Amino acid sequence: MSDIDRILIVGGGPVGTVTGLRLAQHGIPVTLFDRLDKPAEDHRAATLQPSTLDLFAPLGLTDELIRQGLKSTLFQWRDRATHEVVAEFDYGYLENDTAFPFVVQLEQHKTVYTVLAAAAKLPKFNLIRPVDVTEVSEGPDWVEAKVQHPDGDTEVHRGRWMIGCDGGRSVVRKAMDVSFDGFTWPERFNIVTTTRDLEQAMGFRLRNYCAHPERWVSLMKVPGENFEGLWRCVFPAKNEETDDEVMSDAWIAARFAECLSGAGQCEIVHRNMYNVHQRVAGSFAKGRMALAGDSAHINNPIGGMGMNSGFQDGLNLADKLAAIWHGADSEPLLARYDRQRRLTAIEYVQAQSIANKKTLEERDPKVREANLDNLRRMAANPAAHRDFVLRGSLLAMLRKSEQIE
Ligand SMILES: Cc1cc2nc3c(=O)[nH]c(=O)nc-3n(C[C@H](O)[C@H](O)[C@H](O)COP(=O)(O)OP(=O)(O)OC[C@H]3O[C@@H](n4cnc5c(N)ncnc54)[C@H](O)[C@@H]3O)c2cc1C
């Protein structure tokens, strides 16, 4: 076997590391590149869905993630205008659908560290960091990544296949020359973290969505460093509000006063503002390159689906590349990967995350009441309740993807 007999992965975030782990478990040499010297701790994904816990069990990750995280079966929808709990949904309805009928609340970087600890035991897993992948290309039976070290030195790595797990601005997607169709929401989101226990103060569950036509809020609990518990609160900013205003103590205090007035004094330990997009790549595989995770699709965070669906991509792709590695015809397998994951990204993650956001922010009083009524009805009807959590948990997406030939 020559040194070129390996798979290159650009991006060592959650999706890249899990995909690399799976390939190395298949016995395939894999080299990952990441521009950061360690996993980013930037307050992104907080929720591991049951679909992910099922997929991770054979990789040997699930027990450890459960040990580190907070288990939760319930999530709430509230009407922020009246503080009424409109509906409470229970993943317990999934007891016959999954071995893990609950979510695990865990900071994204802890998931990545857990994957890296498992991968460190596999000699075929090689992560090079910090290096920036500046150019990628492919020939008839090889791929190439040009990488730049922090001191400016460059080198070229070759492999047989390349996976872009390099996030929304993917260099791999750009080299594949595929579109990234969709749109950017006009408003920005501010994610603010407090140490105040909102479960104790206001009866929230570990995941909550509070609808309001002007100022909705989504609330999640994560473990924090020693299980002391931290609460992440996502607020939308109005278009006319400047970045400086939105990041100010006064703006945050005003949001807490109107959205969480029952919580008393809240100490703020982190804040971060970001733009929100809904986009899906025109193709997930082309030639010797393929995309998984945010490089292939991005969505708003309401519902906790982006990273979880990215894991489904990465594991699906790793198993197909393993079959190709051992002699299967690449074209039909990669075309099926594209069909399975692209269609379901649109039908499940894009559709559900957009619907969730619209329900949260609806301004028309009649539509708003109809939406909230719909949530009440689904929560009260066992079959509809199960269908709703089957979609939210991404188990429905996983099943649909497996059915696509
Ligand atoms: C506020 C917020 C909350 C969220 N909550 C959830 C949630 O609860 N559940 C959920 O499922 N999803 C959630 N998401 C989405 C989730 O964070 C992303 O879907 C996830 O990070 C995607 O993982 P990834 O590995 O595909 O990409 P990324 O996490 O973006 O990782 C890409 C990696 O590639 C590296 N990289 C990029 N370009 C290069 C290059 N040229 N050279 C070398 N390295 C490169 C980066 O350094 C990075 O490490 C949330 C997102 C936000 C913003």
Beta-carbon count within 10 A of 156 CB: 10
How far apart CA 120 and CA 350 sit, in angstroms, is 34
Tokens 């791929």 correspond to: 143
Range of the domain at 308: 7-181+278-403
Checking if the pLDDT of 1 tops 60, the result is no
How many A from CA of 346 to the centre of ligand 1? 18
Identify the bridge partners of residue 297 per DSSP, sorted by sequence position. Answer: 280
Look at residue 244 and tell me if it is in a domain: no
Does residue 262 carry a pLDDT above 90? no
Total domain count, the chain: 1
Q: What is the 3-state secondary structure (H, E, C) of 74-137?
A: EEEEEECCCCEEEEEEEHHHHCCCCCCCCEEECCHHHHHHHHHHHHCCCCCEEEECCCEEEEEE
* Residue matched to tokens 């560290």: 113
State if pTM tops 0.95. Answer: yes
The finding on whether 46 has its CB within 6 A of some atom of ligand 1 is: yes
* 191, part of any domain: no
DSSP state of 295: G
Residue 100 tokens read as 């893990």
Look at residues 268, 265, 293, 263 and name the one whose alpha carbon lies nearest to residue 280: 293
Q: What whole-number distance in Å separates Cα of residue 355 and Cα of residue 150?
A: 42
Tell whether 235 is covered by a domain: no
In a domain, 309, yes or no: yes
Classify residue 357: in a domain, yes or no.
yes
Lowest mean pLDDT among 134-143, 237-246, 260-269, 317-326: 260-269
pLDDT digits (tens, 9 = 90+) for 167-189: 999 999 999 999 999 999 999 99
Confidence of residue 2 (pLDDT cuts 50, 70, 90): low
Query: Which residue minimizes the CA distance to atom 14 of ligand 1?
Result: 45
pLDDT digits (tens, 9 = 90+) for 71-88: 999 999 999 999 899 999
Query: Beta-carbon neighbour count of residue 179 at 10 Å?
Result: 11
- Domain assignment present for residue 294? The answer is yes
Could you list the beta-strand ranges (E) of 123-212.
125-128, 132-138, 143-148, 154-159, 161-164, 180-194, 207-211
Q: Are 209 and 356 in contact (CB under 8 A)?
A: yes
Residue 111 resides in a domain:
yes
Interval between CA 13 and ligand 1 midpoint (Å): 6
Q: Is residue 230 part of a domain?
A: no
Say if ligand 1 is within 6 A of residue 236 CB. no
Inter-axis angle of helices 382-392 and 395-403, to 10 degrees?
70
The residue with tokens 């298949």 is 26
> Is the CB of 192 within 6 Å of ligand 1?
no
What is the DSSP-derived secondary structure letter of residue 346?
I
CATH number for the domain harbouring residue 306: 3.50.50.60
